[in-house]
Amino acid sequence: MTLIVEATHRLGAFTLDAGFTAEGGVTALFGRSGSGKTSLIRMIAGLSKPDRGRLVIDGDVLVATDDHVFVPKHRRRFGYVFQEARLFPHLSVRQNLNYGSWFASRHEPKSAKAGEFDRVVQLLGIDHLLDRRPSHLSGGEKQRVAIGRALLSSPRLLLMDEPLAALDEERKAEILPYLERLRDETETPIVYVSHSVQEVARLADRVVMMRDGKVAAIGTPAEVLSGASFLAGDRAGDRVSDRRDAGAVLSGVIETIDRAHRLITVRLSSSAIILPNAQGEQGQTVRLHIPERDVMVATQRPEGLSALNIIGGRVAALEPDGEGMVRVRIACGSDMILARITALSVERLALQIDRPVFAVIKTVALER
């Protein structure tokens, strides 16, 4: 699947001028509130029309304003999951799901697949909910049903507009594994809107970072969330907000599980990291997000600390921000860990390129 998006639109004092190309998988539109993420996904869905733009999926032109082409939303065969589940309250879960199948058969009779209902129900773990009404579901269960209804419409593209934003942390933790299964076990490409670093680091194959209506960076989660563009901004408020979550995104495999102490060890390319209270199975591939604000730098291996992760490496780069802080890139073999420390600390530690150091990581800052 190839998706080409170009959109220019003026909304009062705000101007959206953004575009990207996606090749299947999960593409995250990422940025702080007001950056233009939802405006862009609504134009992809056909819920609004750009002043100028182009939308092409697998060679099928859906929007071309120069040629006066605008395919209406009901003919695009896109599934849409909103922040709120928006289920029909008078219908059971089964009937809500069947609405998606009915919609697919009505607009694309050949799109329905045998056994698709059972497959989606099992994928999302909602088989025990089929006879319930929405009023008897938790927030996470409602969102899983909403995702199932969208999938059963046989979409060629699934659009998800901050589907976890209305949930508390417990419900988010409940639904994230299902979103991972959705990514890994279906062939449906996804455009996923979020301002959460944790969600993007965990789910996305590529990230389109937006700022002030424009695309500030495009790349893998590791490239975007640890890149210089993540810190760049036109306003001081942007920089402060971004820095709170900036850090390294690393991929690894669960190597061991210590059930007695509720710890797992994740083997990275050149090192290993221990996580508490993390779920997973041995051999499972996971991503870790390590905020740079939660990494300390030492020139000697510290002792007598509660930190579970002290990893040796070498200084790969020193990047002052002009505000008295320095980002330190620490190469731990082929794994890159980031730390943000004061310029005074850099001087006192006499840090320089290629100097051996230790990254002291606060375990609580690690994300599955």
Contact 133, 144 (CB under 8 A): no
Nearest by Cα to 62 from 75, 52, 51: 75
Q: Is residue 238 very low, low, confident or very high in pLDDT (cuts 50, 70, 90)? A: very low
At 25-77, the pLDDT tens digits run: 999 999 988 899 999 999 999 999 999 999 999 999 999 999 999 999 989 99
- DSSP assignment string, 233-267: -SSHHHHHHHHHH-EEEEEEEEEEEETTTTEEEEE
Mean pLDDT of 356-361: 96
In eight-state DSSP terms, residue 25 is S
Which amino acid appears at position 109 of this protein?
P
Rg (C-alpha) for the chain, rounded Å, is 22
At 364 the pLDDT is 44
Output the six-digit token pair for 173: 């933790």
Share of the chain above pLDDT 90, in %: 61
At 135-194, the pLDDT tens digits run: 999 999 999 999 999 999 889 999 999 999 888 888 888 888 889 888 888 889 999 999
Contact 52, 65 (CB under 8 A): yes
Domains and CATH numbers, the chain: 3-245 (3.40.50.300), 248-365 (2.40.50.100)
Mean pLDDT of 262-269: 91
pLDDT at 116 over 80: yes
